[in-house]
Amino acid sequence: MDLYQINEFAKEIIFEAGKRIRHSFSYDMVVETKSDPNDLVTNIDRETESFFIEKIKQFDANHRVLGEEGMGEKIESLEGPVWIIDPIDGTMNFVKQHRHFMISIGFYVDGIGRLGYIFDVMREDLFYAIAGEGAWYNNSPLRKLKPLTLEEAVIGINASWVIPNRKLNHEKIIELVRTVRGTRSYGSAAMEIAFVVSGKLDAYISMRLSPWDIAGGVIIANEVGAIATNLNGNDVNLLTNDTFIIANPSIHQLILNSYIEQK
Ligand code: 2AM
Ligand code: CA
Ligand code: CA
Ligand code: CA
């Protein structure tokens, strides 16, 4: 398998999908809800996923695709070559702001991450990695993350974390928010992961993410030394939903040990 050739193909279809999404703003968007009134999906999410599947099947019919909108096959194992795709990560931003949403793609072979992509569609900014070869932000190599203290860290966290909730001790999270230099919330998990791997954020935590939210990002994370696990500190699982943290290696364990107390 020629990973360089697959990488060139992946970049090509990502740029083309981005162009199609940007053009979609000039015609009607149909917005529907999924699991709850704030869980949005549009015809463009589905059309973009279908576009990727069609291109990938043309490229190699043996490659399987796991996509958020379910246009690919039902995937129960990561055997062989599998693409894990979120056609639009940050659909609410896409609908409301027409910016701050990403295409997120991971390419796996027998469960091992080989190629990872996070593409900021409106800025045309690509974060990507080839496993074992390095990671890039457009044409510039991404460097290994530098150590820092929690007091110097800026973390990606959603405001709902500091509201009393049934999943975790919010008092500890308030303490975390007081300790760090600052917090940010961008509304796209893939964007926050892209910011962590490029040192623009130092950690990002989420109570519930799906494989397609993180599949591309964790491959890039590996190349720059960012640590991605669930909130129990275990390796991420790409077949189920789970809690999630990605962080600079110098603060990952500290956040988990001292500030995350699950109920
Ligand atoms: P999405 O836009 O692809 O759905 C903020 O909502 C982040 O959490 C986004 O990256 C979003 O991805 C993700 N997310 C995962 N599950 C979600 C859900 N059930 N409802 C809304 N956002 C969800
Ligand atoms: Ca969604
Ligand atoms: Ca998503
Ligand atoms: Ca999505």
State which ligand 1 atom lies nearest to the alpha carbon of 39. 20
Say if residue 15 is in the same domain as residue 128.
yes
- Buried b or exposed e, range 137-150, using 16+ CB within 10 angstroms: beeeebeebeeeeb
- pLDDT at 112 (0 to 100): 98
**What global pTM score does this model have?**
0.97
Please work out whether the CB of residue 54 comes within 6 Å of at least one atom of ligand 1: no
- Atom 5 (ligand 1): residue with closest C-alpha? 187
Say if residue 100 is in the same domain as residue 192.
no
Say if residue 205 is in the same domain as residue 225.
yes
Residue to mutate (ligand 1; options 88, 89, 204; most atoms within 8 A of CB): 89
- pLDDT at 249 (0 to 100): 98
Say if residue 86 carries a ligand binding annotation: yes
pLDDT, tens digit only, all 263 positions of the chain = 899 999 999 999 999 999 999 999 988 899 999 999 999 999 999 999 999 999 999 999 999 999 999 998 889 999 999 999 999 999 999 999 999 999 999 999 999 999 999 999 999 999 999 999 999 999 999 999 999 999 999 999 999 989 998 889 999 999 999 999 999 999 999 999 999 999 999 999 999 999 999 999 999 999 999 999 999 999 999 999 999 999 999 999 999 999 999 98
Which residue range forms the structural domain that includes residue 14? 3-141
Between the CA of 60 and the centroid of ligand 1 the distance, in Å, is 30
Between the CA of 92 and the centroid of ligand 2 the distance, in Å, is 9
Only one residue has tokens 């999908």, namely 17
Which of 81, 116, 141 is a domain's end point?
Answer: 141
Please work out whether the CB of residue 213 comes within 6 Å of at least one atom of ligand 1: yes
Say if residue 113 is in the same domain as residue 158.
no
Please work out whether the CB of residue 198 comes within 6 Å of at least one atom of ligand 1: no
Phi-psi region of 156 (alpha: psi -120 to 50; beta: other; left: phi over 0): beta
Between the CA of 196 and the centroid of ligand 1 the distance, in Å, is 18
- pLDDT at 175 (0 to 100): 97
Are 113 and 217 a contacting pair, CB within 8 Å?
Answer: no
Say if residue 26 is in the same domain as residue 135.
yes
Say if residue 73 carries a ligand binding annotation: no
State which ligand 1 atom lies nearest to the alpha carbon of 192. 10
Say if residue 97 is in the same domain as residue 11.
yes
**CATH number of the domain enclosing 106:** 3.30.540.10
- pLDDT at 72 (0 to 100): 87
Between the CA of 175 and the centroid of ligand 4 the distance, in Å, is 31
- pLDDT at 28 (0 to 100): 80
What's the one-letter identity of residue 260? I
Total domains, the chain: 2
Please work out whether the CB of residue 37 comes within 6 Å of at least one atom of ligand 1: no
Only one residue has tokens 């959603």, namely 158
The dihedral sign for the CA sequence 222, 223, 227, 228: negative
Say if residue 71 is in the same domain as residue 200.
no
Please work out whether the CB of residue 153 comes within 6 Å of at least one atom of ligand 1: no
Between the CA of 156 and the centroid of ligand 2 the distance, in Å, is 19
- Tell me the CB-side half-sphere exposure of residue 10, using CA atoms within 13 A: 29
- Atom 3 (ligand 1): residue with closest C-alpha? 89
Beta strands in the chain (DSSP E): 31-33, 40-42, 64-67, 81-89, 102-109, 112-120, 125-130, 134-137, 140-141, 154-156, 182-184, 203-209, 227-229, 242-247
Between the CA of 209 and the centroid of ligand 3 the distance, in Å, is 7
- pLDDT at 166 (0 to 100): 87
Supply the ipTM of this predicted assembly: 0.95
